[in-house]
Structures are given as C-alpha cells and as structure tokens.
Structure 1
Amino acid sequence: MTAVTQLPYGRAFTWADLEAMPDDGHRYELIDGVLIVSPAPRPLHQRVVAEVTTLLREGCPPELEALPGPVDVRLAEDTVVEPDVIVARRADLTDRGLLHAPLLAVEVLSPGNRGVDLVSKRNRYESSGCLSYWIVDPDIPSLLELRLRDGRYVETAHVKADEAFHTDAPYAVSFTPAALIS
C-alpha cells in the first residue's frame, strides 16, 4: 500500500507539516512557508561537504560541533532549512536539530539550488542572526564568506582555486577551495 502525505491547502507550510513529510531520499526545506524539495545531491557536492566538514572538525573547540547535513535548522515556525554543513554550540543541538541559527552555515552550490542558496537562504540566515555564511561553488572552485555586521551580511572573503582562505569565525580555519574538490 502506498502512503499518501496530506499537504496543507490555503495556508503556508509549517514545521509541523514538515515533520509529516516522507523519508524518501529527498531534501524537504521550508522558506517563509514555501516547501522546497531537492533531489539527492551529486557526488561532487558530497565530496565538498565531506572535505569542509573534515576541515571544520579539525580545529573545532570542544564546546562546538561541526556537522554535515542534513540537520534541521529551525529559523522560524515557517522556515526550516538543512544547510550542507553547520557549526553550532553542542548545548544548543537537540535530538531534532537546531532550534535557531547556527554560528556558521555552509551551502555547497548545485545546478538546481543556486538561487535558493544565493538569495533565499542567504536572506533567511542573515535575518535569523547566523553569524557566518559560506557559499562554496565546486564548479569554479570558489568560496564566498559572509559575516553578520550590524544585522547585515558583509563579504569578508571571496577566494578561488589555489587562493588561501583564512578565517577566525567561528574559529581559525585555513584552506584553499581547490583542496575541497581533490
């Protein structure tokens, strides 16, 4: 027998609606009450996620944790995202994920998600107080670092290929974008 998921009609999606979605290999996210369904990522995307996670775990202080997605990050009742990698305080993580913005959100661009990551998620991370947001483009390869200053994101680094990336937010990390795809 096939299971049927009842979708809300005439109203925005909520966290509760998202909880009822099937575990079918798709990524289900909400941005301002709009359901976004993404297919499984390609291998290059997952390679970059694994490398970023490894690099972040190497220098991670004990009170923080670097986790690869999917991890639910509930930014509002109508906004639940699954960043590709997060860094959060261990004490803030629940068995259902994170109930507010992480210290760092990392999104790895894929052909089908560029607009969501570059515009929609960027705006929601910014408005929810996510201190640092990295956007990694594996096709170039490049990394854009945005940091929250006075409630707005400011570009603090944009490096490509073998250019060195150094940051201290949320803690000291250094690498090159090219190292993420090797």
Structure 2
Amino acid sequence: MSSEPRLERRPVSRAAFDALPREVRAEYVDGVALMSPTASHAHQYAELRVARLLGDALPTLRVGIEMGIDLGTSLRVADVAAYAVTESDEGDDHDEVWGRVPPVLVVEVLSPTTRTEDLVRKPREYLRGGIPHYWVLDREAPSLTAFAAGEGQWEVALELDADRSTGAVELAGHGRVEVDLLALV
C-alpha cells in the first residue's frame, strides 16, 4: 500500500464547488472537483524560487504562486503565474480567487500527485484559454521545458536538464528570462 498522497476526484456541481472553503485546495474540471494535498516543502520552495526569478527578470509582470485561473470551462490552480500589469492595476488588491484574465505565463512544478494533470490536461486547457507561455519544472529529473503557444499547439522554446542547465527564454513583449535550472530545483 502506497503512502503517496493522491489526487481526489469528487463529482460536484459548480455551486457546490463554489461553496467549498477557500482553504480546500481544489480545481474544477468537467463537473469534478480535483482536490490535492498541500504541496511538500521542497515543491513550495521551488515555486518561490521560480516566482522570484520571474519577478526579478520581468518587472512588467505581476507574479504569484498558487494562482487560481478561470479558463471558462475549468478552474485551475497554477503553481506560478505571471500577469501583465496595467494602469488599472495600480492600487488594486486583486481579492479574487479565480482570475479571468489569462496570465502571460504559467509554471507547473511537477509532483507525483498532479503529474498527469500538469503534463496532459492542463497544457491543453492553458492553450485553449489563451495563455501564451507554459513552463514545466521537474525537480526529480531535473528538467525545465518552456513552451510558447503556436498554431493550435505548444512549441518548445527551451529545454534544460542536468547536462544543459542554463539558457534563456523570451516572453514576447515582456522580456527575457535567464534560467539556471539547478538554482530552481
């Protein structure tokens, strides 16, 4: 018997999902609440390192962790998301849980609990939702793959691993990020 935390799937209405307490970490996809356990400390540290890297490299973007994204047909929680800052954002506290404006970049840090969601379902939803950049950080491999939205599919913009651990990614209209994979994991 495995002691590995599992992703719990519960069929619920959207109204029942909306009534869940905020502290329940859940996403909503196709009438199902996907409830995942709290991420490990190592996972959370990786999220923070990625967020710090993006915030420092891309000052025109607002970067956060555990960001709720309303994709129309689903509600997803991104490990890290970066949003364009507009003049209307000045002084706004953004108290919403599910942002309706697509972020410029979403980063998922893989974990055993949500690996399939992060590699299979979320990329399709993020592409359909108009998110132009999607990164996947695998702490175990270690590896980082940065994707840019192409014609109906994701195109690889950068691949890093233990053998090639540094590189740069251009986020159209927002700047360039110099990435050191080993500093993130």
* TM-score tier after normalising by the smaller chain length: 0.7 to 0.9
- SS at 2:54 equivalent: helix
Candidates 151, 173, 178, aligned match of 2:177: 173
With normalisation by structure 1, the TM-score equals: 0.83
Q: Deviations over 1:75-114 (max 9, x none)?
A: 11x4111100001123487421420321100000001111
How far apart are the structure 1 equivalents of 2:26 and 2:111? 16
Q: Structure 2: which 5+ runs fail to align? A: 1-9
Give the letter aligned to residue 73 of structure 1: I
Name the % identity.
28
Give the letter aligned to residue 90 of structure 1: V
1:23 deviates by 3.5
Match of 1:5 in 2: none
- SS at 2:51 equivalent: helix
How far apart are the structure 2 equivalents of 1:152 and 1:129? 11
Candidates 25, 32, 41, aligned match of 1:43: 41
Superposed CA RMSD: 2.1
1:17 deviates by 3.6
Q: Deviations over 1:36-56 (max 9, x none)?
A: 100000111111101001101
- Note the 1:1-182 alignment, pairs <5 A: 13-14=13-14, 16-24=15-23, 26-62=24-60, 64-69=61-66, 71-76=67-72, 78-91=73-86, 94-96=94-96, 97-161=98-162, 163-169=165-171, 170-181=174-185
Decide whether the 8 Å contact of 2:157 with 2:169 is kept in 1.
Answer: no
1:33 deviates by 3.0
Give the letter aligned to residue 145 of structure 2: L
Decide whether the 8 Å contact of 1:129 with 1:151 is kept in 2.
Answer: no
Decide whether the 8 Å contact of 1:65 with 1:87 is kept in 2.
Answer: yes
- SS at 2:113 equivalent: coil
Give the letter aligned to residue 89 of structure 1: A
With normalisation by structure 2, the TM-score equals: 0.82
Single out whichever of 87-96 and 162-171 deviates more from structure 2: 87-96
Task: Tell me the number of residue pairs that the alignment of Structure 1 and Structure 2 aligns.
Answer: 167
Decide whether the 8 Å contact of 1:59 with 1:171 is kept in 2.
Answer: yes
Give the letter aligned to residue 75 of structure 1: L
How far apart are the structure 2 equivalents of 1:167 and 1:86? 16
- SS at 2:126 equivalent: helix
Match of 1:4 in 2: none
Decide whether the 8 Å contact of 1:13 with 1:30 is kept in 2.
Answer: no
